[in-house]
Structure formats: C-alpha cells, structure tokens
Amino acid sequence: MLEQGKIDALRAQPVPAFSHLIDGRHVAASNGATMDIISPIDGKVLTTAARGTAADMEAAIAAARAAFEDRRWAGQPPSARKKVLMKWADLIEANALELAVLGVRDNGTEIGMAIKAEPASAAATIRYYAEALDKIYGEIAPTQSDVLGLIHKEPVGVVGAIIPWNFPMMIGAWKLGPALAMGNSVILKPAETASLSLMRMADLALEAGLPPGVLNAVTGEGAVVGEAMGLSMDLDVLVFTGSGGTGRRLMEYSARSNMKRVYLELGGKSPNIVFADAPNLAEAAKVTAAGIFRNAGQVCVAGSRLLVEASIHDEFVAAVTRAAEAMRVGDPLKTDTQIGAVNSEAQLTQNLKFVETAQAEGGQIVTGGTRILQDSGGCYMAPTIVTDVTPEATLAQKEVFGPVLGVTSFRTDDDAVRIANATVYGLAGGVWTSNLGRAHRMVRDVRTGVMHVNTYGGADGTVPLGGVGQSGNGVDKSLHAIEKYINLKTAWIRL
C-alpha cells in the first residue's frame, strides 16, 4: 500500500550528484564534465550526473575485462553467486520506495505503476535468475563409443547493456539478471533522462557482495559513451533496448569493430484487435485505454493501434474515449495519478508533432491532442485518440512512444490480419473475441513476439519478450534469455 506521506517525504529530499561506478568506485568523468538531470515533473534541475567520455567507457570495459579474466565472480561456486544475487534482490526490495521515488523524479512514470514495474519487478527478475543459475547444466552428446562429446555452457565474458528511459530498473534487470547469473561482467549505460534509479540499484549490488569490477555503470550521452561501448574491441556482447535508429547504429558499430554479438529489443506499433464478439466490450475498452495510456504511452508493448470491427466502431471508440478521459493525468508522485509525465520536453514535442501529422493526413482527434498542466513547468499530455487512421498513415506506421492511440476499422478477419501485419514492426499485439478458433488464428497469423487474448499487457518474468521484424532479435525474460549470455563450447575427448 503506497503511503502519500512517505512519498512526499522522499521527494522533499535533495538528490546528490551522481558519478560513474567503475571497478567498485564512484568516479567523475575523466574531464570533470557533468550533465543536468531535469525532472519532467516540474522542469527543474534535480541533480547532476557525470557526462561520460569515451575514456570513461574504456576504463569501465577494462575493469570488467579484468574482473572476468581473474574469475573473481565466474570462479565462485554457484551457491555463492546465488547468495549474492539473492541478497541484491532483497536490498532492492528493502529500498523499493526510495528507488521508485528517485526513478519517478527522474523519468515521470506514475508512482502506482513505477513501484510495481520498477523495483518490485527488478527484484523478482534478479531472484528468478539467481534461482536458475545452479540448474543450468552442460550436455553430453550421443557420440560414437570411443569418444566423449561434452558441451559446456560458458559465460561469454564482458557484456555491455544500453538501457532506455521508460523502465530503467525493470529493463536493466532483464539484462543484468541473466548476464550476472551466468558469470559475466557487465557495463551498464543508462539513458540520459533516466539514469538515477538504475545507478543506485547498481550500488546495491556491491553492497550485496558483488565483487568490484563485475558490474560497472557509466552515465552520459548515447552518442559518446554508447558509441564508445559499441565500437569497443574488448566487449563480447552488446544488449540493447531502445529505438530502431540506435539499434541500427549498434549493428554498424559491431561490424566496424570486433563483430561483437548484438541483441536488440526495439520499438513496436502493436495492434490491439477488437472484434464485435469480444466477451466484454466495456472491460475491453478500459484495458485498451490503460494499454496505451499508462506511463504516458511510453511502453514498448503499448497497444498503439486500435483495430476495431466496423460494426462496433463508434460504440467502442466512445467507450475507450470515456475511459481515457476518466484517467487522471498529473503529478506522477501522487498515488491517485494514472498517467504521469512525458519523459522529456523533446519527447513531448515529438508526440505533438505526430498528432499534427495525423490530422494533416486525415485523422480526426476524438479527445486530447494537446499539452496540458503547463503551469507545473513539467511535461504533460492529454491522452489522445485519433480515428480515421489509414493503414498507410504515419500514425499507423511510426512509433510515437507517447499517449496517442490511432484507430482503424476493419470488416473481416483477413482484413484485420493484413492491417495488423502492415508495419515493419512485430513486438506485441492483442485480440478480443469469444471465438476460440478466431483467437488461435489471430495468435498464429499476426506477426509479433507476444499476443494477448482478451487482455492487454501484464505478462510476467516466466515468459519471453522479444520482437520479430524490426522490433528486434533475441529475447529478454524467461530461461530463454540466458542463451544471450553463454557460449557453447564442445570438448571432444578420445576415450
């Protein structure tokens, strides 16, 4: 149960300046540079963080490499590694409110969502992989009888993790959990506009007993420290969540440097398909609104395209509009806020531009479309619904990553599938129907990494999340994520 008084007390505390975590020590940028951290709640400077240099990133990678080579972590018995990771999860949980409030002050997510999606989910993820780490074995191949073919599962080495701003702790843990559980060393590169909570979470790992150098974290601009990470000749794996444009660059960096493995979790334009035979249209409307507007639409799997059967179009759009207008937008540190701040001025400007383009292309705004609560100094946008969006329109093709829902109607199942698949993305989708056969056909035919049936969002850590097409490659979450962080090595032994 969230207590407003405790949240208010935490938000009143000044936030100290943040520096890098390299080889177990907090260090400033090599040239002393810092960057202002602006809170999207009120537009004020919250604190500063180190504005990292390429040399800082190289130092962090060198520390991670040294930690990996001397086996100070990978060489510990699995039971010891498990104990450290379990303790880390406990510490994250023990500091959950403090971490969540710090994160919200930095990135603007409403606290009700942040407390669950961020520290609680991060702790659960770390614990999940800690529990798994001594249950993953090598294999013995069925070879001819005079040889023994052993397949070892080895840590890959040094992992770089570039994290976005929407859920830094949760997405950070999706990478850190399996990478550290398998014995790798890691360098984190949090996003410019949401680094604080993840940096604090990294500190807690050291407190839990993770040896220095095994987890390092460098703040700063993507184009500087992120690029230095991508171009490193000494990084073995690069894992990333963020935009397609950056993902493309990371693949280029890899090709131009040491051909490190690159795993990308990118954006989406996820179709939420509502048939007239949905079991409960009123419920579907509420979940549809939450599925695009929570965290101001800054959710990778957000159902940003509503495909609705023509016969119920007007009725259903009216219901989603009512649900959207009933959602309370505002100060993300108030416990009753349902839609917090947009992450930054730049993001808000971009969202509004998308709305302008949608109108120019024939879209009709049913609700929202504007910046609100300007007096606060923060970045707030009314939940926005645009109808008459053609499948070719910009709003149907490009990810906004904001509280903007585009509506397109369809007449047949084939129509729905064709429209759903008519983007370069393939991250998530949903279908609402009482017809079992239709539900399974949609799950089969809509090209995505995850399909929801008669719900939207809310999957837990036991199931994989990953995209197809230009939504990325590889998966986070579940035991399948571990494959990114191990090498298979064959030992062929003559008997």
Angstrom distance (rounded) from CA 240 to CA 246: 9
Under rule CB under 6 A, residue 162 binds ligand NAD: yes
Residue tagged active-site, from 58, 110, 300, 379 = 300
Question: Nearer Cβ to ligand NAD, position 68 or 167?
Answer: 167
403-420 as b/e: b if 16+ CB within 10 A: bbbbbbbbeebebbbebb
Residue tagged active-site, from 110, 192, 265, 309 = 265
User: Is there a contact between 448 and 421 (Cβ–Cβ < 8 Å)?
Assistant: no
User: Is there a contact between 385 and 405 (Cβ–Cβ < 8 Å)?
Assistant: yes
Q: In the complex, what is the shortest distance from the CB of residue 190 to ligand NAD, in angstroms, rounded to a whole number?
A: 6
Helix runs in 95-167, H state only: 96-107, 111-115, 121-132
Stretch that binds ligand NAD, among 54-62, 86-94, 177-185, 187-195 (CB under 6 A): 187-195
Q: Which residue has the tokens 């910009």?
A: 394
Question: Nearer Cβ to ligand NAD, position 195 or 387?
Answer: 195
Binding mask 400-439 for ligand NAD (x = CB under 6 A): -x-------------------------x------------
User: What number of chain residues touch ligand NAD (CB under 6 A)?
Assistant: 30
Question: Nearer Cβ to ligand NAD, position 273 or 428?
Answer: 428
Q: Which amino acid is at 395?
A: L
Question: Nearer Cβ to ligand NAD, position 96 or 266?
Answer: 266
Inter-residue long-range contacts of 71-74, CB under 8 Å, 24+ positions, other chains counted? 72/211, 72/213, 72/214, 73/180, 73/183, 73/185, 73/210, 73/211, 73/214, 74/155, 74/183, 74/184
Stretch that binds ligand NAD, among 21-29, 176-184, 188-196, 322-330 (CB under 6 A): 188-196
Stretch that binds ligand NAD, among 175-183, 189-197, 322-330, 429-437 (CB under 6 A): 189-197
Our answer to whether residue 361 is catalytic in this structure is no
Angstrom distance (rounded) from CA 439 to CA 53: 51
Q: In the complex, what is the shortest distance from the CB of residue 377 to ligand NAD, in angstroms, rounded to a whole number?
A: 22
Angstrom distance (rounded) from CA 87 to CA 91: 6
Stretch that binds ligand NAD, among 206-214, 225-233, 331-339, 376-384 (CB under 6 A): 225-233
Nearest to 179 by CA among 57, 244, 278, 263: 263
Question: Nearer Cβ to ligand NAD, position 173 or 319?
Answer: 173
Length of the chain: 495
Q: Which residue has the tokens 């008669």?
A: 454
Our answer to whether residue 154 is catalytic in this structure is no
Which of the 8 DSSP states describes residue 361? T
Angstrom distance (rounded) from CA 447 to CA 464: 15
User: 248 to 267, contacts with ligand NAD by CB under 6 A?
Assistant: 249, 265-267
The residues that touch ligand NAD, with contacts defined as CB under 6 A, are 162-166, 171, 189, 191-192, 222-223, 226-227, 230, 241-243, 246, 249, 265-268, 300, 399, 401, 427, 465, 467, 472
* Catalytic machinery residues: 265, 300
